[in-house]
Amino acid sequence: MQKTKILAVAPYEGMADAISAIAQTRDDIRMTVQTGDLDNGKKIALELAHNNYDVIISRGGTAELIRSNVELPVIDIPISVYDVLRTIKLVESYSGKFIIAGFSSITNCAKVLCDLLQYDIDIVTFTNESDALPAIRKAQQNGCTLALCDMTGLNAARKLGMNSILLSSGSESITSAIDEAVKLVASSAHVHKQKDLFQALLTNEDREFLIFNPAGALWFSSLPNNDSNTVLMNLVQTYLRAFLKVSGQTVTRQIRDKIFILTNRHLFYEDQKYTAITIQQKHAVFSEEDSVITIYNHLDSNSEDFADEYNGSHQVGRTADIIEAYAKSTQPVLIIGESGTGKDKVAKLLYSNSSGNSSPLYIINCELMGERKWNALINNSDSPFANVNTNIYIKNPGALSKNQLDKLFSYIDNSELARRNRLIFSLILNSSEKDQTEICRNYLENKLSCMTLKLLPLRDRIQDLSSIATLYIHRMNVATGKQIIGFEAEAMDLMTAFSWPNNLDQLHHIIKELVVITRTPYITYENVKEILDNEPSADPSADISGLDLTGTLNEINDQIIHMVLTEEAGNKERAAKRLGISRSTLWRMLKK
Protein backbone atom coordinates (compact mmCIF):
# COMPACT_ATOMS: atom_id res chain seq x y z
CA MET A 1 0.00 0.00 0.00
CA GLN A 2 1.28 3.46 -0.96
CA LYS A 3 1.85 5.49 2.18
CA THR A 4 0.93 9.17 2.33
CA LYS A 5 4.05 11.25 2.96
CA ILE A 6 3.18 13.98 5.49
CA LEU A 7 5.28 16.82 6.88
CA ALA A 8 3.85 17.97 10.24
CA VAL A 9 4.94 21.39 11.55
CA ALA A 10 3.76 21.72 15.15
CA PRO A 11 3.78 25.17 16.78
CA TYR A 12 4.81 23.71 20.17
CA GLU A 13 6.55 20.63 21.56
CA GLY A 14 3.45 19.16 23.21
CA MET A 15 1.62 19.00 19.89
CA ALA A 16 4.70 17.53 18.17
CA ASP A 17 4.75 14.72 20.75
CA ALA A 18 1.01 14.10 20.30
CA ILE A 19 1.33 13.96 16.49
CA SER A 20 4.28 11.54 16.72
CA ALA A 21 2.37 9.27 19.08
CA ILE A 22 -0.66 9.11 16.77
CA ALA A 23 1.52 8.60 13.67
CA GLN A 24 3.11 5.52 15.24
CA THR A 25 -0.30 3.85 15.46
CA ARG A 26 -0.96 4.16 11.70
CA ASP A 27 0.46 2.16 8.81
CA ASP A 28 -1.01 4.31 6.01
CA ILE A 29 1.29 7.31 6.49
CA ARG A 30 4.98 8.22 6.63
CA MET A 31 5.27 11.21 8.93
CA THR A 32 8.07 13.72 9.59
CA VAL A 33 7.40 15.93 12.62
CA GLN A 34 9.12 19.29 13.18
CA THR A 35 8.50 22.02 15.77
CA GLY A 36 8.29 25.70 14.84
CA ASP A 37 5.83 28.52 15.44
CA LEU A 38 4.87 31.09 12.76
CA ASP A 39 8.02 32.31 10.92
CA ASN A 40 10.12 29.45 12.26
CA GLY A 41 7.48 27.02 11.08
CA LYS A 42 7.39 28.69 7.67
CA LYS A 43 11.18 28.44 7.42
CA ILE A 44 11.06 24.72 8.24
CA ALA A 45 8.39 24.14 5.60
CA LEU A 46 10.34 26.05 2.94
CA GLU A 47 13.49 24.04 3.67
CA LEU A 48 11.81 20.61 3.69
CA ALA A 49 8.87 20.93 1.30
CA HIS A 50 10.94 19.74 -1.68
CA ASN A 51 11.72 16.38 -0.01
CA ASN A 52 8.95 14.59 -1.90
CA TYR A 53 6.13 15.16 0.63
CA ASP A 54 2.51 14.87 -0.47
CA VAL A 55 0.96 17.22 2.07
CA ILE A 56 1.73 19.39 5.12
CA ILE A 57 -0.27 19.58 8.35
CA SER A 58 0.04 22.41 10.87
CA ARG A 59 -2.14 24.61 13.06
CA GLY A 60 -3.49 28.14 13.33
CA GLY A 61 -1.36 31.06 12.21
CA THR A 62 1.56 28.77 11.42
CA ALA A 63 -0.60 26.82 8.95
CA GLU A 64 -1.77 30.07 7.32
CA LEU A 65 1.82 31.31 6.88
CA ILE A 66 2.97 28.00 5.39
CA ARG A 67 -0.03 27.90 3.04
CA SER A 68 0.83 31.31 1.60
CA ASN A 69 4.49 30.42 0.99
CA VAL A 70 4.57 26.75 -0.05
CA GLU A 71 3.03 25.07 -3.09
CA LEU A 72 2.08 21.84 -1.27
CA PRO A 73 -1.46 21.55 0.13
CA VAL A 74 -1.66 22.45 3.84
CA ILE A 75 -4.20 20.85 6.18
CA ASP A 76 -5.05 22.80 9.33
CA ILE A 77 -5.18 20.84 12.59
CA PRO A 78 -8.41 22.27 13.96
CA ILE A 79 -9.40 23.44 17.39
CA SER A 80 -12.70 21.64 17.78
CA VAL A 81 -15.69 22.84 19.76
CA TYR A 82 -14.85 20.06 22.21
CA ASP A 83 -11.26 21.38 22.62
CA VAL A 84 -12.52 24.89 23.42
CA LEU A 85 -15.29 23.63 25.71
CA ARG A 86 -12.84 21.43 27.61
CA THR A 87 -10.55 24.42 28.26
CA ILE A 88 -13.47 26.67 29.34
CA LYS A 89 -14.65 23.96 31.76
CA LEU A 90 -11.11 23.82 33.14
CA VAL A 91 -11.27 27.50 34.19
CA GLU A 92 -14.87 27.56 35.46
CA SER A 93 -13.60 27.77 39.01
CA TYR A 94 -11.24 30.64 38.15
CA SER A 95 -12.52 33.75 39.94
CA GLY A 96 -10.90 36.39 37.73
CA LYS A 97 -11.87 37.73 34.30
CA PHE A 98 -10.46 35.92 31.26
CA ILE A 99 -10.43 36.24 27.45
CA ILE A 100 -10.06 33.89 24.50
CA ALA A 101 -7.41 35.09 22.01
CA GLY A 102 -5.81 33.69 18.87
CA PHE A 103 -5.94 33.47 15.09
CA SER A 104 -9.27 33.02 13.32
CA SER A 105 -9.03 29.21 13.16
CA ILE A 106 -9.35 29.24 16.96
CA THR A 107 -11.57 32.24 17.64
CA ASN A 108 -14.21 31.32 15.02
CA CYS A 109 -14.84 28.06 16.83
CA ALA A 110 -14.92 29.87 20.20
CA LYS A 111 -17.50 32.38 18.92
CA VAL A 112 -19.84 29.59 17.76
CA LEU A 113 -19.57 27.83 21.11
CA CYS A 114 -20.13 31.01 23.15
CA ASP A 115 -23.19 31.88 21.05
CA LEU A 116 -24.70 28.42 21.52
CA LEU A 117 -24.06 28.25 25.26
CA GLN A 118 -24.57 32.00 25.85
CA TYR A 119 -21.15 32.45 27.45
CA ASP A 120 -20.20 36.10 28.00
CA ILE A 121 -16.50 35.85 27.19
CA ASP A 122 -14.41 38.46 25.36
CA ILE A 123 -12.85 37.03 22.19
CA VAL A 124 -9.89 38.70 20.40
CA THR A 125 -8.71 37.65 16.91
CA PHE A 126 -5.14 38.21 15.63
CA THR A 127 -4.56 38.87 11.94
CA ASN A 128 -0.77 38.65 12.31
CA GLU A 129 1.82 38.02 15.01
CA SER A 130 2.30 41.72 15.79
CA ASP A 131 -1.37 42.01 16.89
CA ALA A 132 -0.89 39.70 19.87
CA LEU A 133 1.03 41.87 22.32
CA PRO A 134 -1.13 45.03 22.08
CA ALA A 135 -4.34 42.95 22.18
CA ILE A 136 -3.30 41.07 25.32
CA ARG A 137 -2.04 44.29 26.92
CA LYS A 138 -5.39 46.00 26.26
CA ALA A 139 -7.27 43.08 27.81
CA GLN A 140 -4.98 43.22 30.83
CA GLN A 141 -5.68 46.95 31.22
CA ASN A 142 -9.43 46.15 31.10
CA GLY A 143 -9.12 43.86 34.10
CA CYS A 144 -8.45 40.47 32.50
CA THR A 145 -6.01 38.32 34.45
CA LEU A 146 -6.10 35.14 32.35
CA ALA A 147 -5.89 34.42 28.61
CA LEU A 148 -7.03 31.22 26.89
CA CYS A 149 -5.00 31.41 23.70
CA ASP A 150 -2.88 29.84 21.01
CA MET A 151 0.93 29.76 21.08
CA THR A 152 1.27 33.33 19.78
CA GLY A 153 -1.05 34.68 22.48
CA LEU A 154 0.68 32.54 25.10
CA ASN A 155 4.07 34.11 24.29
CA ALA A 156 2.57 37.62 24.42
CA ALA A 157 0.89 36.94 27.78
CA ARG A 158 4.15 35.64 29.24
CA LYS A 159 5.93 38.84 28.22
CA LEU A 160 3.30 40.85 30.09
CA GLY A 161 3.36 38.60 33.16
CA MET A 162 -0.26 37.58 32.58
CA ASN A 163 -1.66 34.13 33.39
CA SER A 164 -2.34 32.02 30.31
CA ILE A 165 -3.62 28.59 29.29
CA LEU A 166 -2.87 27.09 25.89
CA LEU A 167 -5.86 26.10 23.76
CA SER A 168 -4.50 22.78 22.53
CA SER A 169 -5.83 20.46 19.86
CA GLY A 170 -6.84 17.11 21.26
CA SER A 171 -6.01 13.72 19.76
CA GLU A 172 -9.37 13.70 17.97
CA SER A 173 -8.49 16.93 16.11
CA ILE A 174 -5.02 15.65 15.16
CA THR A 175 -6.47 12.36 13.91
CA SER A 176 -9.09 14.28 11.93
CA ALA A 177 -6.39 16.36 10.21
CA ILE A 178 -4.36 13.26 9.33
CA ASP A 179 -7.47 11.55 7.94
CA GLU A 180 -8.24 14.62 5.82
CA ALA A 181 -4.67 14.68 4.51
CA VAL A 182 -4.81 11.00 3.52
CA LYS A 183 -8.17 11.49 1.74
CA LEU A 184 -6.91 14.57 -0.10
CA VAL A 185 -3.85 12.75 -1.42
CA ALA A 186 -5.91 9.67 -2.33
CA SER A 187 -8.34 11.81 -4.33
CA SER A 188 -5.48 12.95 -6.57
CA ALA A 189 -3.61 9.64 -6.64
CA HIS A 190 -3.15 9.73 -10.43
CA VAL A 191 -1.40 13.10 -10.17
CA HIS A 192 0.88 11.84 -7.41
CA LYS A 193 1.67 8.71 -9.42
CA GLN A 194 2.73 10.88 -12.35
CA LYS A 195 4.80 13.01 -9.99
CA ASP A 196 6.55 9.95 -8.53
CA LEU A 197 7.31 8.62 -12.02
CA PHE A 198 8.78 11.94 -13.12
CA GLN A 199 10.72 12.14 -9.85
CA ALA A 200 12.20 8.67 -10.47
CA LEU A 201 13.05 9.62 -14.04
CA LEU A 202 14.83 12.80 -13.00
CA THR A 203 16.65 11.06 -10.15
CA ASN A 204 18.21 8.64 -12.63
CA GLU A 205 19.55 11.50 -14.78
CA ASP A 206 23.20 12.55 -14.57
CA ARG A 207 22.09 15.98 -13.39
CA GLU A 208 19.84 17.47 -10.73
CA PHE A 209 16.83 19.74 -11.18
CA LEU A 210 15.36 22.50 -9.05
CA ILE A 211 12.24 24.55 -9.77
CA PHE A 212 11.41 27.78 -7.91
CA ASN A 213 8.00 29.44 -7.92
CA PRO A 214 7.50 33.14 -8.83
CA ALA A 215 8.10 34.15 -5.19
CA GLY A 216 11.48 32.40 -5.16
CA ALA A 217 10.33 29.49 -2.97
CA LEU A 218 11.54 26.00 -3.85
CA TRP A 219 8.73 24.15 -5.62
CA PHE A 220 10.50 20.98 -6.75
CA SER A 221 13.89 19.35 -6.18
CA SER A 222 15.50 16.10 -7.28
CA LEU A 223 18.28 16.59 -4.72
CA PRO A 224 18.35 14.13 -1.81
CA ASN A 225 18.25 15.80 1.60
CA ASN A 226 21.80 15.45 2.99
CA ASP A 227 24.65 17.62 4.26
CA SER A 228 26.56 17.77 0.97
CA ASN A 229 23.48 18.99 -0.85
CA THR A 230 22.91 21.63 1.82
CA VAL A 231 26.18 23.20 0.64
CA LEU A 232 24.91 23.00 -2.93
CA MET A 233 21.57 24.60 -2.01
CA ASN A 234 23.46 27.45 -0.32
CA LEU A 235 25.36 27.94 -3.58
CA VAL A 236 22.08 28.10 -5.52
CA GLN A 237 20.73 30.68 -3.07
CA THR A 238 23.77 32.89 -3.79
CA TYR A 239 22.67 33.30 -7.41
CA LEU A 240 18.91 32.79 -7.05
CA ARG A 241 17.96 36.47 -7.26
CA ALA A 242 19.81 36.83 -10.58
CA PHE A 243 18.39 33.53 -11.87
CA LEU A 244 14.83 34.69 -11.10
CA LYS A 245 15.38 37.84 -13.18
CA VAL A 246 17.25 36.66 -16.28
CA SER A 247 16.98 33.34 -18.11
CA GLY A 248 19.85 31.54 -19.81
CA GLN A 249 22.55 32.19 -17.19
CA THR A 250 25.34 29.70 -16.48
CA VAL A 251 27.42 29.75 -13.30
CA THR A 252 30.37 27.43 -12.67
CA ARG A 253 31.85 26.99 -9.21
CA GLN A 254 34.33 24.58 -7.68
CA ILE A 255 33.56 23.02 -4.29
CA ARG A 256 36.38 20.84 -3.00
CA ASP A 257 37.18 18.32 -5.77
CA LYS A 258 34.06 18.89 -7.88
CA ILE A 259 32.97 21.44 -10.45
CA PHE A 260 29.26 22.40 -10.34
CA ILE A 261 27.62 23.95 -13.39
CA LEU A 262 24.33 25.77 -12.72
CA THR A 263 22.15 26.70 -15.69
CA ASN A 264 18.74 28.39 -15.46
CA ARG A 265 15.75 28.91 -17.71
CA HIS A 266 12.28 30.33 -17.18
CA LEU A 267 9.08 28.29 -17.55
CA PHE A 268 5.63 29.84 -17.78
CA TYR A 269 2.51 28.18 -16.38
CA GLU A 270 -0.86 29.94 -16.09
CA ASP A 271 0.86 33.28 -16.76
CA GLN A 272 3.26 32.77 -13.87
CA LYS A 273 7.03 32.55 -14.25
CA TYR A 274 8.85 29.59 -12.71
CA THR A 275 12.64 29.26 -12.70
CA ALA A 276 14.20 25.88 -13.48
CA ILE A 277 17.83 25.32 -12.49
CA THR A 278 19.84 22.41 -13.86
CA ILE A 279 22.88 21.28 -11.86
CA GLN A 280 25.63 19.25 -13.50
CA GLN A 281 28.79 18.14 -11.78
CA LYS A 282 32.16 16.83 -12.90
CA HIS A 283 35.52 16.16 -11.32
CA ALA A 284 37.88 19.11 -11.05
CA VAL A 285 41.23 18.80 -12.79
CA PHE A 286 42.98 20.34 -9.76
CA SER A 287 42.00 20.74 -6.11
CA GLU A 288 40.14 23.80 -4.85
CA GLU A 289 43.24 24.93 -2.93
CA ASP A 290 45.31 24.90 -6.11
CA SER A 291 45.24 28.27 -7.87
CA VAL A 292 46.34 27.00 -11.30
CA ILE A 293 42.74 27.37 -12.52
CA THR A 294 40.27 29.86 -11.09
CA ILE A 295 36.72 30.39 -12.28
CA TYR A 296 35.17 33.83 -12.62
CA ASN A 297 31.45 34.31 -13.26
CA HIS A 298 29.86 37.51 -14.52
CA LEU A 299 27.32 37.25 -11.69
CA ASP A 300 30.19 37.27 -9.18
CA SER A 301 31.10 40.85 -10.02
CA ASN A 302 30.51 43.12 -7.01
CA SER A 303 30.01 46.82 -7.61
CA GLU A 304 31.16 47.56 -4.08
CA ASP A 305 34.57 45.97 -4.62
CA PHE A 306 37.56 48.30 -4.63
CA ALA A 307 38.77 46.41 -7.71
CA ASP A 308 35.98 48.05 -9.73
CA GLU A 309 37.78 51.37 -9.51
CA TYR A 310 40.93 49.48 -10.45
CA ASN A 311 39.05 48.26 -13.54
CA GLY A 312 38.00 51.87 -14.05
CA SER A 313 41.63 52.79 -14.70
CA HIS A 314 41.23 51.04 -18.05
CA GLN A 315 38.05 52.95 -18.81
CA VAL A 316 39.97 56.20 -19.02
CA GLY A 317 41.40 57.34 -22.36
CA ARG A 318 41.90 55.40 -25.58
CA THR A 319 42.10 52.00 -23.83
CA ALA A 320 38.39 52.14 -22.99
CA ASP A 321 37.39 52.39 -26.66
CA ILE A 322 39.60 49.45 -27.64
CA ILE A 323 38.26 47.25 -24.82
CA GLU A 324 34.67 48.02 -25.83
CA ALA A 325 35.36 47.16 -29.48
CA TYR A 326 37.30 43.97 -28.73
CA ALA A 327 34.67 42.78 -26.25
CA LYS A 328 32.06 42.71 -29.02
CA SER A 329 34.21 40.42 -31.17
CA THR A 330 34.53 36.64 -30.78
CA GLN A 331 38.11 36.67 -32.10
CA PRO A 332 40.91 35.68 -29.69
CA VAL A 333 42.63 38.59 -27.96
CA LEU A 334 46.24 39.00 -26.85
CA ILE A 335 46.84 41.50 -24.02
CA ILE A 336 50.45 42.68 -23.70
CA GLY A 337 52.01 45.04 -21.20
CA GLU A 338 54.55 45.43 -18.46
CA SER A 339 54.07 43.97 -14.99
CA GLY A 340 51.41 45.82 -13.04
CA THR A 341 49.56 47.30 -16.02
CA GLY A 342 46.36 45.41 -15.12
CA LYS A 343 46.22 42.68 -17.77
CA ASP A 344 44.05 40.43 -15.58
CA LYS A 345 41.58 43.26 -15.02
CA VAL A 346 41.37 43.94 -18.76
CA ALA A 347 40.74 40.24 -19.42
CA LYS A 348 37.80 40.33 -17.00
CA LEU A 349 36.48 43.53 -18.61
CA LEU A 350 36.63 41.92 -22.06
CA TYR A 351 34.70 38.95 -20.69
CA SER A 352 32.14 40.93 -18.65
CA ASN A 353 31.30 43.20 -21.59
CA SER A 354 31.04 40.39 -24.14
CA SER A 355 27.94 38.58 -25.37
CA GLY A 356 29.38 35.37 -23.91
CA ASN A 357 29.33 36.52 -20.30
CA SER A 358 26.45 34.19 -19.47
CA SER A 359 29.10 31.44 -19.43
CA PRO A 360 32.04 31.46 -16.99
CA LEU A 361 35.61 32.64 -17.53
CA TYR A 362 38.29 30.04 -16.76
CA ILE A 363 41.58 31.69 -15.76
CA ILE A 364 44.63 29.46 -16.31
CA ASN A 365 47.79 30.73 -14.59
CA CYS A 366 50.74 29.43 -16.61
CA GLU A 367 53.24 30.77 -14.05
CA LEU A 368 52.13 27.99 -11.66
CA MET A 369 52.03 25.25 -14.29
CA GLY A 370 54.45 22.34 -13.87
CA GLU A 371 54.84 19.56 -16.42
CA ARG A 372 52.47 17.17 -14.64
CA LYS A 373 49.76 19.80 -14.26
CA TRP A 374 50.14 20.89 -17.86
CA ASN A 375 49.71 17.32 -19.12
CA ALA A 376 46.57 16.98 -16.98
CA LEU A 377 45.18 20.21 -18.42
CA ILE A 378 45.82 19.08 -22.00
CA ASN A 379 44.65 15.47 -21.66
CA ASN A 380 41.89 15.45 -19.00
CA SER A 381 38.35 15.27 -20.39
CA ASP A 382 37.15 17.52 -17.54
CA SER A 383 39.64 20.25 -18.46
CA PRO A 384 38.32 23.67 -19.51
CA PHE A 385 40.07 23.00 -22.83
CA ALA A 386 37.44 20.31 -23.50
CA ASN A 387 34.56 22.79 -23.10
CA VAL A 388 32.40 24.32 -25.79
CA ASN A 389 31.09 27.91 -25.84
CA THR A 390 32.96 29.08 -22.79
CA ASN A 391 35.65 31.71 -22.09
CA ILE A 392 39.27 30.82 -21.36
CA TYR A 393 41.94 33.28 -20.24
CA ILE A 394 45.45 31.83 -20.57
CA LYS A 395 47.59 34.03 -18.36
CA ASN A 396 51.25 34.58 -19.36
CA PRO A 397 51.99 31.49 -21.48
CA GLY A 398 55.49 32.97 -21.82
CA ALA A 399 56.23 31.33 -18.44
CA LEU A 400 55.77 27.85 -19.96
CA SER A 401 58.67 25.67 -21.00
CA LYS A 402 59.38 25.12 -24.70
CA ASN A 403 57.92 21.61 -24.45
CA GLN A 404 54.73 22.95 -22.83
CA LEU A 405 54.42 25.66 -25.47
CA ASP A 406 54.75 23.11 -28.25
CA LYS A 407 51.93 21.08 -26.67
CA LEU A 408 49.75 24.19 -26.32
CA PHE A 409 50.24 25.29 -29.93
CA SER A 410 49.62 21.75 -31.17
CA TYR A 411 46.44 21.44 -29.08
CA ILE A 412 45.09 24.77 -30.33
CA ASP A 413 45.84 23.82 -33.95
CA ASN A 414 44.35 20.32 -33.80
CA SER A 415 41.36 20.71 -31.45
CA GLU A 416 39.83 23.92 -32.85
CA LEU A 417 40.00 25.35 -29.33
CA ALA A 418 39.69 28.91 -30.63
CA ARG A 419 36.60 28.02 -32.69
CA ARG A 420 34.86 26.27 -29.80
CA ASN A 421 35.59 28.93 -27.16
CA ARG A 422 36.48 32.59 -26.70
CA LEU A 423 40.21 32.79 -25.92
CA ILE A 424 42.11 35.59 -24.19
CA PHE A 425 45.89 35.55 -23.68
CA SER A 426 48.28 37.86 -21.83
CA LEU A 427 52.05 38.32 -22.03
CA ILE A 428 54.44 40.32 -19.82
CA LEU A 429 56.63 42.58 -21.95
CA ASN A 430 59.35 43.10 -19.34
CA SER A 431 59.44 39.42 -18.39
CA SER A 432 62.69 37.55 -17.79
CA GLU A 433 61.42 34.81 -20.14
CA LYS A 434 61.99 37.02 -23.19
CA ASP A 435 62.63 34.19 -25.67
CA GLN A 436 59.49 32.27 -24.69
CA THR A 437 57.46 35.48 -24.72
CA GLU A 438 58.61 36.28 -28.27
CA ILE A 439 57.78 32.74 -29.44
CA CYS A 440 54.30 33.07 -27.90
CA ARG A 441 53.65 36.49 -29.35
CA ASN A 442 54.73 35.40 -32.83
CA TYR A 443 52.38 32.38 -32.76
CA LEU A 444 49.42 34.20 -31.23
CA GLU A 445 49.57 37.23 -33.54
CA ASN A 446 50.63 35.57 -36.80
CA LYS A 447 49.29 32.00 -36.60
CA LEU A 448 46.20 32.38 -34.39
CA SER A 449 45.46 35.93 -35.66
CA CYS A 450 44.82 37.34 -32.19
CA MET A 451 43.75 40.95 -31.90
CA THR A 452 46.47 42.63 -29.84
CA LEU A 453 45.65 45.03 -27.03
CA LYS A 454 48.77 46.76 -25.75
CA LEU A 455 48.53 48.32 -22.31
CA LEU A 456 50.77 51.32 -21.96
CA PRO A 457 52.92 51.64 -18.85
CA LEU A 458 51.67 54.33 -16.52
CA ARG A 459 54.67 56.57 -17.33
CA ASP A 460 53.45 56.66 -20.96
CA ARG A 461 49.88 57.61 -20.05
CA ILE A 462 50.75 60.07 -17.32
CA GLN A 463 48.02 62.40 -18.62
CA ASP A 464 45.48 59.85 -17.28
CA LEU A 465 47.03 59.63 -13.81
CA SER A 466 44.88 62.40 -12.30
CA SER A 467 41.64 60.77 -13.53
CA ILE A 468 42.70 57.30 -12.39
CA ALA A 469 43.75 58.63 -8.97
CA THR A 470 40.34 60.31 -8.62
CA LEU A 471 38.62 56.94 -9.11
CA TYR A 472 40.87 55.28 -6.55
CA ILE A 473 40.36 58.07 -4.00
CA HIS A 474 36.57 57.89 -4.40
CA ARG A 475 36.50 54.17 -3.66
CA MET A 476 38.82 54.54 -0.69
CA ASN A 477 36.64 57.38 0.65
CA VAL A 478 33.68 54.99 0.58
CA ALA A 479 35.70 52.22 2.21
CA THR A 480 37.20 54.38 4.98
CA GLY A 481 34.46 56.97 5.52
CA LYS A 482 36.80 59.83 4.63
CA GLN A 483 36.06 62.84 2.42
CA ILE A 484 39.34 63.48 0.66
CA ILE A 485 38.85 65.80 -2.33
CA GLY A 486 42.12 65.24 -4.17
CA PHE A 487 45.78 66.28 -4.33
CA GLU A 488 47.43 69.59 -3.66
CA ALA A 489 48.95 70.93 -6.90
CA GLU A 490 52.53 70.30 -5.76
CA ALA A 491 51.58 66.82 -4.56
CA MET A 492 50.16 65.94 -7.98
CA ASP A 493 53.35 67.29 -9.59
CA LEU A 494 55.31 64.76 -7.54
CA MET A 495 52.94 61.98 -8.63
CA THR A 496 53.24 62.81 -12.33
CA ALA A 497 57.03 63.15 -12.11
CA PHE A 498 57.43 59.67 -10.58
CA SER A 499 58.52 56.89 -12.95
CA TRP A 500 56.00 54.21 -11.77
CA PRO A 501 58.07 51.10 -12.55
CA ASN A 502 55.31 48.84 -11.21
CA ASN A 503 52.57 50.78 -12.98
CA LEU A 504 48.94 50.55 -11.83
CA ASP A 505 49.70 48.02 -9.10
CA GLN A 506 52.09 50.53 -7.56
CA LEU A 507 49.66 53.45 -7.95
CA HIS A 508 46.93 51.30 -6.42
CA HIS A 509 48.73 50.60 -3.15
CA ILE A 510 50.21 54.13 -2.91
CA ILE A 511 46.74 55.72 -3.11
CA LYS A 512 45.59 53.35 -0.37
CA GLU A 513 48.47 54.40 1.87
CA LEU A 514 47.98 58.11 1.13
CA VAL A 515 44.26 58.01 1.93
CA VAL A 516 44.91 56.18 5.20
CA ILE A 517 47.52 58.69 6.45
CA THR A 518 45.84 61.87 5.16
CA ARG A 519 43.98 63.96 7.77
CA THR A 520 43.13 66.96 5.56
CA PRO A 521 40.72 67.46 2.63
CA TYR A 522 43.67 67.37 0.21
CA ILE A 523 46.59 64.94 0.01
CA THR A 524 49.67 67.01 0.78
CA TYR A 525 53.07 67.33 -0.87
CA GLU A 526 54.75 66.11 2.34
CA ASN A 527 52.69 62.91 2.49
CA VAL A 528 53.30 62.09 -1.17
CA LYS A 529 57.04 62.70 -0.81
CA GLU A 530 57.23 60.51 2.29
CA ILE A 531 55.50 57.62 0.53
CA LEU A 532 57.33 57.92 -2.81
CA ASP A 533 60.74 58.15 -1.14
CA ASN A 534 60.17 54.61 0.14
CA GLU A 535 59.07 53.28 -3.25
CA PRO A 536 61.24 51.52 -5.86
CA SER A 537 62.11 53.82 -8.75
CA ALA A 538 63.09 53.12 -12.32
CA ASP A 539 65.80 55.79 -12.08
CA PRO A 540 68.98 54.30 -13.63
CA SER A 541 71.08 56.27 -11.16
CA ALA A 542 69.72 54.22 -8.27
CA ASP A 543 72.35 53.27 -5.70
CA ILE A 544 74.27 50.07 -6.53
CA SER A 545 77.23 50.73 -4.27
CA GLY A 546 76.36 47.71 -2.18
CA LEU A 547 76.94 45.31 -5.08
CA ASP A 548 80.10 43.25 -5.45
CA LEU A 549 80.69 43.37 -9.21
CA THR A 550 83.72 41.05 -9.11
CA GLY A 551 81.61 37.88 -9.03
CA THR A 552 80.01 35.90 -11.84
CA LEU A 553 76.78 37.06 -13.49
CA ASN A 554 74.78 34.50 -11.50
CA GLU A 555 76.39 35.72 -8.27
CA ILE A 556 75.61 39.36 -9.10
CA ASN A 557 72.01 38.39 -9.93
CA ASP A 558 71.78 36.59 -6.60
CA GLN A 559 73.01 39.73 -4.78
CA ILE A 560 70.42 41.89 -6.57
CA ILE A 561 67.60 39.50 -5.73
CA HIS A 562 68.49 39.41 -2.04
CA MET A 563 68.95 43.21 -1.91
CA VAL A 564 65.48 43.73 -3.38
CA LEU A 565 63.96 41.12 -1.06
CA THR A 566 65.53 42.90 1.92
CA GLU A 567 64.18 46.28 0.77
CA GLU A 568 60.73 44.73 0.34
CA ALA A 569 60.84 43.13 3.82
CA GLY A 570 60.82 39.64 2.35
CA ASN A 571 57.66 40.21 0.26
CA LYS A 572 58.28 37.95 -2.75
CA GLU A 573 55.36 39.29 -4.78
CA ARG A 574 56.58 42.91 -4.62
CA ALA A 575 60.19 41.82 -5.10
CA ALA A 576 59.24 39.92 -8.26
CA LYS A 577 57.39 42.95 -9.61
CA ARG A 578 60.40 45.20 -9.01
CA LEU A 579 62.70 42.71 -10.71
CA GLY A 580 60.34 42.35 -13.67
CA ILE A 581 59.98 38.59 -13.26
CA SER A 582 57.19 36.25 -12.24
CA ARG A 583 56.88 34.86 -8.73
CA SER A 584 57.59 31.34 -10.00
CA THR A 585 60.81 32.54 -11.69
CA LEU A 586 61.89 34.29 -8.49
CA TRP A 587 61.18 31.12 -6.54
CA ARG A 588 63.28 29.03 -8.95
CA MET A 589 66.18 31.50 -8.73
CA LEU A 590 66.09 31.47 -4.93
CA LYS A 591 66.20 27.66 -4.87
CA LYS A 592 69.39 27.48 -6.98
227-234 mean pLDDT: 78
Query: How many domains is the chain built from?
Result: 6
Conformational region of residue 471, where left means phi above 0, alpha means psi within -120 to 50, and beta covers everything else = alpha
Instruction: Tell me 74's DSSP state.
Output: E
In a domain, 548, yes or no: no
Question: 53-77: per-residue pLDDT in tens?
Answer: 889 999 988 998 999 888 889 999 9
Tell me the three state secondary structure of residue 449. Answer: coil
Tell me how many degrees the CA angle 300-301-302 measures, rounded to the nearest 5. Answer: 110
CA 49/CA 515 separation, integer angstroms: 51
Can you give the pTM of this predicted structure? 0.62
Percentage of the chain surpassing pLDDT 70?
A: 89
120-127 mean pLDDT: 91
436-444 mean pLDDT: 92
pLDDT computed for residue 550 by the predictor: 59
pLDDT computed for residue 570 by the predictor: 59
* 307 has pLDDT over 50: no
In a domain, 92, yes or no: yes
Q: Are residues 49 and 179 in the same domain?
A: yes
Q: Are residues 413 and 300 in the same domain?
A: yes
Question: 330-387: per-residue pLDDT in tens?
Answer: 999 999 999 999 999 999 999 999 999 989 999 999 988 888 888 889 988 889 999 8
Q: Are residues 347 and 216 in the same domain?
A: no
Which of 510, 488, 490, 514 has its CA nearest to residue 501?
510
Q: Are residues 32 and 179 in the same domain?
A: yes
Question: 250-299: per-residue pLDDT in tens?
Answer: 999 998 888 999 999 999 988 889 999 999 988 888 877 778 899 999 88
In a domain, 425, yes or no: yes
Domain boundary residue among 283, 311, 343? 283
CB hemisphere CA count around 333 (13 angstroms): 28
Q: What strands, in cross-sheet order, belong to the sheet with 391-395?
A: 293-296, 361-365, 391-395, 422-428, 333-337, 451-454
pLDDT computed for residue 291 by the predictor: 80
pLDDT computed for residue 226 by the predictor: 62
What CATH number does residue 492 fall under? 1.10.8.60
For β-strands 272-283 and 258-269, DSSP reports them as antiparallel
Average of per-residue pLDDT values in the chain: 86
Q: Are residues 352 and 268 in the same domain?
A: no
Q: Are residues 186 and 335 in the same domain?
A: no
